Amino acid sequence: MIIKKKCISRRTMLRGTGVALALPLLDAMIPALTATAATVAAPANLKRIGYIYIPMGFNPAKWIPENDTLDKLPFSLSPLEKVKKQVTVITNTDLKNAYPGSHATSNSAFLSAARAKRTESTDYFNGTTVDQIAARKIGQGVQLPSLELSMDILSTVGQCDNGYACVYQNNLSWSSPTQPLPSEAHPRLAFETLFGEGGTPEQRTAAREKRASLLDSVTLEIKRIKNRVGASDRGKIDGYLQSIREVERRIEMAESTAKDNPLPDLDRPVGVPAAYSDHARLMFDLQLLAFQGDITRVVSFQLAREASTRTYPEIGVSDPHHPVTHHGNNPEKLEKVAKINQFHVSLFAEFLGKMKEIPEGDGSLLDHSLYMYGSGMGDPDKHDHSNLPIIVAGGAAGKMRGGRHIRFKNPTPLSNLHLTLLNKVGVPLETFSDSTGTVEELFDPVNL
C-alpha cells in the first residue's frame, strides 16, 4: 500500500512582524511510512528534562512519607495527590561537595554536585551543571538549547555568604566551571525569547506596539497551516494558541498594574504580577509552552533565591523566609517552613497537572518529560547538605514507576540521581561528579 500523506516538518515556524511561532506536535508531523503511523504519534521515550530549585531546605517531619508508597502524603507534599502516580519522592541523598554548609554552595552544587572555589572575586570556579550537559545533547536542533528562569532579580552583590562570590548564589546553571548562565525572571522578556524573532529591545517593543497580540502577526499563517491538517490537529493548534494568548494577556495585565504603581520592588522585576503565585504560574506556563512547541527541551527554574527574605502573605506567612528557616527547633517556625514548602509544592503540582492534560503522541506531555524538584540544603537551621528534599516527576514513557518513596538506607550522592536522569533522556555517561552508581529502582529495570 502506498501512503501519499505529506508531512509537515516538526520545525515549522509561523513568522510575522517580530514573531517566530513554533507549533505543538501534530499528527501531520508524523512520517506516513506505514499504515499504523497514525498510532505512533511520538517516540516512546523521554526527550525533555527540567530542574526546579527551592531554597533553604525543608521541614522533614512534614515532608518525608511514612512508607515506601505515596498512599498517604504528608502535609508539605499533599498538593501532589492528583499526580502522585507520576511522582517519586526520594530521601537520604546528599551533596558532600557543598560543604562547608552555606547558602551559596547549596545553590551552586545542586545541579553541578561540584565544590565551588572559595573566593569573593571574579576567579570563581564551579562545575558544568547537568542541565547544560543535557542541552549539549538533546538541546541541539531546537530554537533554544536551554531555558533558564527564576523568580527574583538575581544580581545581588555584597549580601552573600562570607567567602563566596555572589555568582554562586545568583546562578543555578553553569555552561562551564567559569561560565554561569543568568536566568530570566521577567515573564515578558521570557515570552519574547520564546516567541519573538530577535532584534534589539527597541525593535521588539516597536513591533509589539504595532499589534494587539503576538498572534495578530501570524493570522494568515495560522489559517494556511490549519487548512493543511485534520480536525484533531486543528484542535491542538487552537488550544496551543489560546494558551499563548492567555499568557500574553496575563503579562499585559501585570505590566498595566505596574504603570499604576511604579514603586520598585528590590526582589522582583518591574511589571510582574503582584502576587508571588501569579508570577510563578506565569513562569511555569512559559515552560509549558516552550516544551509543547519544542522550543527547548531543557529548563532550569529557581523558585526563590537562597537567603531570600520574601514573605508569603498568600498563605499566612508574613515572616521573611530566611529568618524563619533558622528555626532552632521552634515548633511555630517549623510549621511556617512546612507551609512554605507546601506552597511551593502546590505550584509544581499544578504545573504537573497541566502537563498531564496535554496529549502528545502515545501519551501526554508529562509522559515524555522528566522533572527534578528539590533543594541543595537539608536542615536549614544547620545549613547542612544531607537528607535533601527531592521529587522526580513524569517519565512514564521511560517507564518511571511513580507513586513511590525511595528511601536510601545510607546517604547517597545526589549525583547518582543526576546521572540516572541524564541517561534516561539520552545522554549516556558513566559517571557524573562524585557519583557512585545509578538509581536503578527509579525505573522499570527492563527498560534501563
The 3-class secondary structure across 169-196, one letter per residue, is HHCCEEEECCEEECCECCHHHHHHHHHE
Residue 267 — very low, low, confident or very high, per pLDDT cuts 50/70/90? low
Q: What is the pLDDT of residue 320?
A: 96
Q: What is the pLDDT of residue 249?
A: 92
Residue 154 — very low, low, confident or very high, per pLDDT cuts 50/70/90? low
Q: What is the pLDDT of residue 1?
A: 30
Residue 387 falls within a domain, yes or no? yes
Domain shared by 394 and 318, yes or no:
yes
Domain shared by 365 and 390, yes or no:
yes
Q: What is the pLDDT of residue 14?
A: 87
Residue 293 falls within a domain, yes or no? no
Grid coordinates given for 332: 511555630
Q: Is the pLDDT of residue 41 over 60?
A: no
Q: How far is CA 105 from CA 99, 160, 168, 377, in A?
A: 7, 11, 7, 9
Amino acid present at 210: K
Q: Are 116 and 108 in contact (CB under 8 A)?
A: yes
Q: What is the pLDDT of residue 39?
A: 35
Q: In this predicted structure, which of 165-179, 268-282, 357-371 has the lowest mean pLDDT?
A: 268-282
CA distance 125 to 115: 8
CB neighbour class for 136 (10 Å; exposed up to 12, middle 13-18, buried from 19)? middle
Q: What is the pLDDT of residue 447?
A: 43
Residue 435 — very low, low, confident or very high, per pLDDT cuts 50/70/90? very high
Q: Is the pLDDT of residue 377 over 90?
A: yes
Domain shared by 19 and 70, yes or no:
no
Q: What is the pLDDT of residue 7?
A: 76
Average pLDDT, stretch 318-334? 97
Domain shared by 132 and 194, yes or no:
no
Q: What is the pLDDT of residue 20?
A: 85
The range of the structural domain enclosing residue 391 comes to: 47-185+279-287+298-447
Q: What is the pLDDT of residue 424?
A: 94
Domain shared by 166 and 209, yes or no:
no
Amino acid present at 203: Q
Q: What is the pLDDT of residue 438?
A: 96
The string over 36-73, giving b where at least 16 C-beta atoms fall within 10 Å of a residue's C-beta and e elsewhere, is eeeeebbeeebbbbbbbbbbbbbbbebbbbeeeebeeb
Q: What is the pLDDT of residue 156?
A: 55
Domain shared by 81 and 102, yes or no:
yes
Residue 292 falls within a domain, yes or no? no
Q: What is the pLDDT of residue 44?
A: 47
Q: Is the pLDDT of residue 53 over 80?
A: yes
Q: Count structural domains, the chain.
A: 2
Q: In this predicted structure, which of 122-126, 161-165, 340-344 has the lowest mean pLDDT?
A: 161-165
Residue 377 falls within a domain, yes or no? yes
Q: What is this structure's pTM?
A: 0.91
pLDDT tens digits, residue range 394-415?
Answer: 988 888 989 999 999 999 999 9
Pairing of β 13-16 and β 48-53: unpaired
Residue 71 falls within a domain, yes or no? yes
Helices 231-260 and 276-292, packing angle to 10 deg:
150
CA distance 105 to 162: 11
Domain shared by 260 and 132, yes or no:
no
CA distance 158 to 170: 12
Domain shared by 177 and 231, yes or no:
no
Residue 226 falls within a domain, yes or no? yes
Q: Residue 317: CB partners within 8 Å, gap ≥ 6?
A: 311, 324, 336, 339, 340
Residue 420 falls within a domain, yes or no? yes
Between 198 and 43, the more confident residue is 198
Q: What is the pLDDT of residue 37?
A: 40
Compute how many other C-beta atoms are within 10 angstroms of the C-beta atom of residue 108.
Answer: 34
- High-pLDDT (> 90) share of the chain, %: 72
Grid coordinates given for 363: 501519551
Q: What is the pLDDT of residue 172?
A: 97
Residue 4 — very low, low, confident or very high, per pLDDT cuts 50/70/90? very low
Q: Residue 259: CB partners within 8 Å, gap ≥ 6?
A: none
Domain shared by 17 and 118, yes or no:
no
Compute how many other C-beta atoms are within 10 angstroms of the C-beta atom of residue 332.
Answer: 9
pLDDT mean across residues, the chain: 88
pLDDT tens digits, residue range 105-135?
Answer: 999 999 999 999 999 999 999 999 999 999 9
The string over 356-387, giving b where at least 16 C-beta atoms fall within 10 Å of a residue's C-beta and e elsewhere, is bebbbbeebbbbbbbbbbbbbbbbbbebbbbb
Between 269 and 137, the more confident residue is 137
Residue 258 falls within a domain, yes or no? yes
Q: Is the pLDDT of residue 160 over 70?
A: yes
Q: What is the pLDDT of residue 268?
A: 59
Domain shared by 92 and 212, yes or no:
no
Between 226 and 214, the more confident residue is 226
DSSP states of 219-237: HHHHHHHHTTS-HHHHHHH
Domain shared by 139 and 13, yes or no:
no
Average pLDDT, stretch 36-52? 63
Domain shared by 128 and 248, yes or no:
no
pLDDT tens digits, residue range 216-258?
Answer: 888 989 999 999 999 999 999 999 999 999 999 999 888 887 6
CATH of the domain at 415: 3.40.720.10
Q: What is the pLDDT of residue 444?
A: 78
Average pLDDT, stretch 38-51? 64
Q: In this predicted structure, which of 38-42, 49-53, 72-76, 112-116 has the lowest mean pLDDT?
A: 38-42
pLDDT tens digits, residue range 178-210?
Answer: 999 999 999 999 999 999 866 555 655 666 666
